[in-house]
Amino acid sequence: MSSREKEQTIALSAVFQAAELVSILAKTGKVDNASLQPLLDSILMLNAGSTEDIYGGQWDCQSNLALGRRITRQALGKERSSVNPDTLRYALSLIHLENKLSKTPEMLSQIGQKITHIEQKKAHYESVLHENMLASISGMYQDTLSKLPFRIQVHGDSRFLQQPQISNQVRAILMAGIRAAMLWRQLGGKRWHLIFKRKALLNALESRN
């Protein structure tokens, strides 16, 4: 097991956490802020010293991504059937969409500029969870990733999904999932690793307990 695989499990856990939160939010209209905030904060972390720092640092990373770690463990292990099918679909879709994004340098540049602008706005609000911050991140997703040919279809209760605040949250979480998928790719992660490197990734995941 390499340190690279340990880092990959951090990124993968964040992808699955984002996927699960989208699934929960779309069906219930509610989401756990303790699981949400680290993901949204990661979008604005452009110059982190380490992979762990992107999600709260050495001491908080594990707890901040506890939900995603649990689901990643299930998805890679023998409990795959217990994972919500929508969560699996969203996770794979995030990895696929980020791969498309990586081949669009103009859009990557546009996202970078928008993140800088949103980061400056954050000083005016107490948290990235403020509805204006969520709306800004959602707008970034709409202006960029929503324009790619491949789009993530979110299924849930229309009573919730039709509410602007909730749809903003959904797009903001998807943006955080793209951030995690980008990190996964930058760390050498490939989609086929989810099948053929499951044991190595599981070992790395368990070693972080």
Contact 183, 139 (CB under 8 A): no
The model's pLDDT over 24-74, given as tens digits with 9 standing for 90+, comes to 999 999 999 999 999 999 999 988 889 999 999 988 999 999 999 999 999
Which one, of 169, 170, 28, lies nearest residue 90 by Cα? 170
Q: Which two tokens stand for residue 186?
A: 């930058």
The model's pTM is 0.94
What CATH number has the domain spanning 3-206?
1.10.3890.10
Q: Please, which pLDDT band fits residue 209 given cuts at 50, 70 and 90?
A: very low
The model's pLDDT over 132-150, given as tens digits with 9 standing for 90+, comes to 999 999 999 999 999 999 9
pLDDT of residue 78: 84
Extents of the domains making up the chain: 3-206
Which one, of 161, 147, 138, lies nearest residue 26 by Cα? 161
